[in-house]
A and B are shown apart, each in its own frame.
Chain A
Amino acid sequence: MNTKQHSLTRRIKLRWQLYLMLLLPLIYIIIFAYVPMGGLVIAFKKYSVNLGIWGSPWVGFQNFIKFFSSYKFENIIRNTLTLSLYSLAVSFPIPIIFALMLNSMLNEKYKKTIQTVTYIPYFISTVVMVGLILQVLNNRSGIYGSLYTLFTGKTAFNILADGKLFKHIYVWSGVWQGTGYSAIIYIAALAGVDQSLHEVATIDGANRFQRLIYIDIPAILPTASIMLILAVGNIMNVGFEKVLLMQNNLNLNYSEIISTYVYKVGLASGINDFSLSTAISMFNSVINFILLSIANWGSKKLNGNGIF
């Protein structure tokens, strides 16, 4: 024990510049993540503004029970899971495939152009993005509607009015916006692959596809598994703003998710119930944490890569 501590201090002394740099994010996290976590106690209290966090009376699990027995509970959980699993299933593999395709492209100039073009949508802010989606898909004034009317002379079917289509619109617009950006990390990993491996494989008679399977994919596998764990860790955090902005009364049964419900209960309804929204948020984080641990454990078992 003693020698270990001793060696740690020595290591810090040796590379103090690195540790100094680490200090900044560490302080940031302590101030903005760990200190406010103390406020989570209001999930177990009946929070009132006059009495403050510590003065408010304890109510035990009452807020959680209120949430579990709410008529919306099932619906919200189902929607949250549908949206998050669906978008994980689609938006996780697509950037990998896209990166592999870009990597096998021979024309450098063409490759760079495609990369830039697919990268650009990432910089559109959510509000503008949702505005775009709603405008484009409008069945009268949007591109979709105008083209439909131009070719058939009839008014198009209103996609936005069908709640069942909500998840598709949500996920695929996300793919359009995020693919280029998410692919970057894989492209970087692929660029790091030793060219001699490829040369050797070519001499051994491997074709392009075989090289992709046996060289490229194993090369990005560690990166991919870390990214997967991170994505699973965020699984319950479906993009709040985007869903909220895309909601309308016809898709509400399919689009009300935990975070939008928290917002509505806690702030928007005019009767602020901070305790209930904290309880719901906390429930969300706990589930998230469990999922993250499972994914990490699985990933470690499978290929030895984990984050803790």
Chain B
Amino acid sequence: MKKIITLCLILVLTIVNLSSCGPKTANQPTDTNKQSTQTENKQTEASQPADKAKTDADNKLVVAIQTNSFVTDYDNNYFTKYLEEKLGMDIEFYQLPSAQDEVKTKLSLMVTSNDNLPDVLIVSKVLTPETILQYGNSGVFMDLTEYTKDKSKMPNYNAIPAEDKNIMDATQTMANGKMYSLSKFEPETWNLTPNRLFINRAWLEKLGLSIPKTTDELKTVLKAFHEKDPNGNGIQDEIGVYGFQSGGYGQNITATLMNAFEFWNGGSLNGGLALSEDGKKVIAPFATDNFKAGLAYMNDLYKEGLLSPEIFTADGTQFKATLNSEANIVGLTSIGSLSNYPDASKNKNFLEMEMIEPLTGPNGLSYTPYSDYSPSQELFVFSNCKNVDLAIRFADEFYDPYTSIITRFGEEEVDWTKDPAKISSMTNAYVVDGIYDKVTMAVISNFWPEPSAQTWHNFGPRYASLEAANTVANGLKPFDPEDKTQLVAKNYKYYFTKHPQHILPLLHYTEEQVEKIEEALANIPTYVNQSMAEFITGARSIDKEWDKYLDDLKGMGLEEWVNTAQEAFNNGK
């Protein structure tokens, strides 16, 4: 008897073990059903008080919004009150989680249950064009194409300058020619070129060297860094080139250096595809001879000990730790955000570094990873929305110039000011550098980095021109040209123009196209990064295995991917 029970228990344990590995994905749909009933319950609860006040129903919208930890209260919120008053409406919130993947999951659960959906959805950078198209095709989102063209329905949207509006229209239009979203357009120049090179100026001065302009000069400089112990601690611990390949936002120095040989956006958009020189053909830069030459150059640096293999193994913490080690040991790095050096304006290591222009390669190319500014699709209307006119009026209000300022900067004269008397004496980096004449407004409170109930922290559509974004002054701290962390204007001069004339825009694939290239999309970008790491560190020989690399790419469906991208590109034009 005892044996039987023991055996039963063991059997039970094994089955648990066995089954836990298999049908995990299959689990999800069951979960879906369960949770969606919860959603339904919640919604019926929420809609009960609404039934009582049916008279208000005509001017009420249920807005599902991705929450943000910087917003302490949505109902008693300055921006909510402002909108309600101005539009004479009532906003009821349906709060979504704040984490990206949780929003996605929650949304697909809501959609699966399909009834009792809110009226409007506001999320920030959560939905990919493929998902939006899928939801649009299946009738979850409403087709907004007609409304965006109608001046009487969306006056503010149609008042946007044609050049910028075309970009927004292009982003919002899916592969089937319909628009399901309204987007946020607030271009700036700093984030478009995150791969900023920083060289150790203190070491250069100590060794009597000048700032390298070409890749060859860089090699000479790095050699001196490596051999002459410029940090003076007697140990040969200087790293020539340091970065973080799997890091985001400019930390992948292999992409930065590669751009002296071939323009490659590092895989940040369209999986790294680019356009030919005449702007007509879609090409794969990572399968060109120039790319091979770039790899050979980096391999050479690696062999001489000038490029650290830690680029490929470090994680974010180690990357920062190395940049901030007690005695500076980094000669050249590539970063997008100064937050890699905590408290940069006083950071000893950072003050030794200086931002330099992109390097020029042997063929005279000097590019930096760059993607065109692309608006983010933020507002959607669910097709079961009963009061469509109100939803459109609500959506269009976000493009009102004054409202656009409020969504980002808060309350006038509390958080920001346009008062000429106050801003006349102010300036910012762009104005000092002569790129713009004068500042147009100033931020006068510190509400943005602190939790508050002033706005929705800029979630939702918005329009602000490049000029409007670059002529904002900081009213709390006067501009100090000596401050080494004020790099926006320098970045604009050094990096903003360093890209080919024709840039591949964000491609919109149809569902059938995605299906054809899905394996290539999932595998090739990772395979390219992996191969770069192997080629650079000599784990694979560039001479012998380059053809094998090209064959592998072919096997993964590169050709079909490029052809499909070409189709999508032609359709989008």
Contacts and interface: CB of A to CB of B under 8 A. Distances in A.
Interface of A: 15, 18, 22, 25-26, 29, 32-40, 42, 49-50, 52-53, 66, 70-72, 134-135, 138-141, 149, 153-155, 158, 160-161, 163, 226, 230, 233-234, 236-237, 248-250, 252-253, 259, 262, 264-266, 269-271, 273-274, 277-278, 281-282, 284-285, 288-289, 292, 307-308
B552 A158 contact: no
Nearest to A39: B26
Contacts of A25: 12
Contacts of A281: 21-25
B14 A274 contact: no
B537 A230 contact: no
A273 to B, nearest CB: 6
Contacts of B27: 36, 39
B257 to A, nearest CB: 16
23 contacts: A32-B19, A33-B15, A37-B23, A39-B25, A42-B25, A71-B555, A134-B315, A140-B322, A149-B237, A158-B310, A161-B537, A163-B539, A250-B530, A250-B533, A270-B521, A274-B25, A274-B28, A278-B25, A281-B22, A281-B23, A288-B18, A289-B18, A292-B14
A33 B16 contact: yes
A155 B313 CA distance: 16
B382 interface: no
A101 to B, nearest CB: 27
B97 interface: no
Contact of B530 (A36, A42, A233, A252): A252
Given A236-B21, A307-B11, A270 B128 contact: yes
B155 interface: no
B321 A39 contact: no
B25 A50 contact: no
Contacts of B365: none
Interface string B513-547: 01000110111001001101110010100000000
A35 B21 contact: no
B288 interface: no
Given A29-B12, A52-B29, A233-B17, A149 B235 contact: yes
B7 interface: yes
Among B22, B25, B128: residue with most chain A CB under 10 A: B25
Nearest to A269: B522
Contacts of B26: 36-40, 42, 278
B8 interface: yes
A262 B22 CA distance: 11
Given A22-B8, A161-B537, A226-B10, A271 B518 contact: yes
A134 B318 contact: yes
B70 to A, nearest CB: 26
Contacts of B20: 33
- Majority SS at the chain B contact face: helix
A271 B27 CA distance: 19
Nearest to A31: B30
B152 interface: no
A163 B16 CA distance: 33
A250 B534 contact: yes
A175 to B, nearest CB: 21
A74 B542 CA distance: 23
Contact of A18 (B5, B246, B521, B556): B5
Nearest to B529: A249
Contacts of A29: 12, 15-16, 19
A230 B19 contact: no
A53 B25 CA distance: 12
Nearest to A158: B309
Contacts of A248: 246, 312-313, 533
B47 interface: no
A53 B28 CA distance: 10
Interface of B: 1, 5, 7-8, 10-30, 108, 111-112, 128, 130, 134, 138, 235-237, 245-246, 309-310, 312-313, 315, 318, 321-322, 325, 329, 514, 518-519, 521-523, 526, 529-530, 532-534, 537, 539, 552, 555-556
Nearest to B238: A155
Contacts of A154: 236
B54 to A, nearest CB: 32
Contacts of A274: 25, 28
Contacts of B112: 49, 52
Given A253-B530, A285-B21, A35 B237 contact: no
Contacts, number: 172
A35 B26 CA distance: 10
A50 B138 contact: yes
B299 to A, nearest CB: 14
Contacts of A36: 19, 23, 26-27, 30
Contacts of B111: 49
A66 B556 CA distance: 12
A243 to B, nearest CB: 14
Contacts of B235: 149, 153
A72 B496 CA distance: 39
Contacts of B309: 158, 161, 250
Contacts of A49: 108, 111-112, 134
Q: For B19, B130, B235, B325, which residue has the most chain A Cβ atoms within 10 angstroms?
A: B19
Nearest to A230: B14
Contact of A71 (B28, B529, B556): B556
A163 to B, nearest CB: 7
B552 A155 contact: no
A25 B15 CA distance: 11
Given A250-B533, A252-B530, A285-B18, 16 more contacts: A15-B1, A25-B12, A29-B15, A37-B19, A49-B134, A50-B138, A52-B112, A138-B310, A140-B325, A161-B309, A259-B21, A262-B25, A264-B522, A265-B522, A269-B521, A271-B130
A271 B529 contact: no
Q: Which of A134, A141, A271 has the most CB of B within 10 A?
A: A271
Contacts of B7: 307-308
A271 B530 contact: no
Contacts of B519: 66, 70
Nearest to B313: A160
Nearest to B532: A249
A249 B16 CA distance: 34
Contacts of B530: 249-250, 252-253
Contact of A141 (B1, B29, B128, B318): B318
Contacts of B555: 71
A88 to B, nearest CB: 15
Contacts of A33: 15-16, 19-20
Contact of B14 (A66, A284, A307): A307
Contacts of B138: 50
Nearest to A137: B313
B246 A249 contact: yes
Nearest to B555: A71
A26 B9 CA distance: 10
Contacts of B318: 134-135, 138, 141
Most buried by B among A50, A158, A262: A50
B18 A292 contact: yes
Nearest to B30: A36
Nearest to A139: B310
B134 A37 contact: no
B237 A273 contact: no
B56 to A, nearest CB: 33
B29 A266 contact: no
A223 B497 CA distance: 70
Contacts of B529: 249
A117 to B, nearest CB: 28
A266 B24 CA distance: 11
Contact of A277 (B25, B134, B246, B526): B25
Contacts of A70: 519
A278 B22 CA distance: 8
A39 to B, nearest CB: 3
A273 B518 contact: yes
